[in-house]
């Protein structure tokens, strides 16, 4: 019958469109993987820095380093596009090393009160070498370990928990802070929190986004802040965009915030400017002391 015929026909067309689409997608991915191989060497990678502030005082405390790829033909490429490719090709190990080195080198030029947070991917954690690499980078750059935070998502901890725990412990022994990123979005956030000695919890942007419009999100954020305070682990809320969200987080006693309300990820030069206008910037305070 006609309906079945046209449905079948449409289905057939869809199938060929689908496979053409897939082919195109795979071609683009393969091309990207080839370009990504030389991106570090060609100086196409850049770290942007997003402010992290104390909730109660709004004071600037530090920055999260976020990776960008400035592709000569494709323009700016976001991590959601190229990190998965870097992971599946193993290139993430080289990229991750570059990120660590660059973030520590730049942060070492900042006033000592500011911290830098660096994202580490599951494959980096799966190696034995991460703590040694971190120690070497800290030694080379002179950055104090207590100013470095390593952000880990739950997906980096599930494949071999025993190994991951050893790595996390070694990082902590170096004196760096280890943070659980995207809390609440993983497979078993509470079990992960119990198994790993995190120094900080970051509530995922997804919950913060709908905080003032959705009762479930509000309840989850509230409970996470309470959980953090019971466990004596400071909580940071990511993706804070409005004053209403900030008020809620202030009332609930969330320690730190990050989001467009305080600033988008900035190029390093802009991040330096922001620190210079910050009242806690050491140059200003020593200047003021001298003038007094
Ligand atoms: P993440 O670590 O959870 O980083 C937070 C993401 O939320 C960043 O996206 C940031 O730009 C975005 N964001 C922060 N505040 C707001 C806000 O108020 N509104 C909105 N709409 N977005 C906000 P970005 O830079 O695109 O990074 C996405 C993810 O890519 C990161 O999520 C992280 O998982 C990964 N990533 C970024 N840089 C690196 C890196 O150097 N290494 C690794 N392994 N992963 C990285
Ligand atoms: Mg992060
Ligand atoms: Mg996050
Ligand atoms: Mg996130």
**155: confidence class by pLDDT, cuts 50, 70, 90:** confident
Whether residue 37 has pLDDT greater than 70: yes
DSSP three-state, residue 222: helix
Whether residue 13 has pLDDT greater than 60: no
214-228 pLDDT per residue, tens: 999 999 999 999 999
Q: Residue 282 has what pLDDT?
A: 52
Whether residue 160 has pLDDT greater than 80: yes
CA of 231 to the centre of ligand 2 (A): 21
Return the number of other C-beta atoms located less than 10 Å from residue 166's C-beta: 13
Pocket of ligand 1 (CB under 6 A): 50, 66-67, 78-80, 83, 99, 119-121, 151, 181-182, 205, 238-241, 258-260, 265
CA of 182 to the centre of ligand 3 (A): 4
Q: Residue 187 has what pLDDT?
A: 80
Q: Can you give the pTM of this predicted structure? A: 0.91
What percent of the chain stands above pLDDT 70? 89
Whether residue 36 has pLDDT greater than 90: yes
Interatomic CA distance for residues 144 and 13, integer angstroms: 60
Encoded tokens for 242 = 């409005």
Better-scored residue on pLDDT, 28 or 250: 250
CA of 81 to the centre of ligand 3 (A): 16
ipTM for the predicted complex = 0.98
Interatomic CA distance for residues 151 and 147, integer angstroms: 13
**Longest distance between any two alpha carbons in the chain, whole Å:** 93
Interatomic CA distance for residues 229 and 180, integer angstroms: 15
């Amino acid at each position: 019958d006609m309906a079945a015929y046209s449905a079948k026909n449409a289905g057939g067309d869809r199938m060929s469109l689908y496979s053409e689409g897939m082919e195109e997608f795979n071609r683009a991915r393969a091309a990207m993987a080839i370009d990504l191989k030389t991106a570090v060497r060609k100086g196409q990678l850049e770290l942007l820095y997003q402010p992290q502030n104390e909730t109660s005082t709004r004071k600037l405390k530090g920055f999260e380093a976020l990776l960008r790829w400035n592709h000569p033909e494709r323009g700016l490429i976001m991590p959601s596009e190229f990190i998965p490719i870097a992971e599946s090709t193993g290139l993430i190990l080289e990229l991750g090393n570059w990120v660590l080195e660059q973030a520590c080198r730049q942060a070492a030029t900042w006033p000592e009160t500011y911290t830098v947070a660096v994202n580490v991917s599951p494959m980096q954690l799966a190696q034995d070498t991460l703590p040694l690499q971190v120690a070497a980078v800290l030694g080379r750059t002179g950055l104090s370990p207590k100013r470095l935070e390593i952000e880990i998502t739950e997906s980096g901890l599930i494949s071999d928990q025993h190994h991951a725990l050893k790595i996390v412990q070694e990082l902590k022994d170096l004196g760096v802070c280890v943070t659980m990123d995207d809390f609440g979005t993983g497979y078993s956030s509470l079990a992960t929190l119990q198994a790993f000695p995190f120094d900080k919890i970051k509530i995922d942007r997804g919950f913060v986004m709908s905080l003032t419009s959705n009762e479930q999100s509000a309840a989850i954020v509230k409970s996470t802040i309470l959980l953090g305070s019971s466990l004596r682990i400071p909580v940071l809320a990511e993706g804070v965009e409005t004053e209403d969200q900030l008020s809620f987080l202030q009332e609930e006693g969330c320690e730190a915030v990050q989001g467009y309300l305080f600033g988008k990820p900035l190029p390093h030069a802009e991040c330096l400017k922001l620190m210079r206008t910050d009242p806690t910037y050491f140059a200003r305070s020593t200047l003021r002391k001298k003038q007094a």
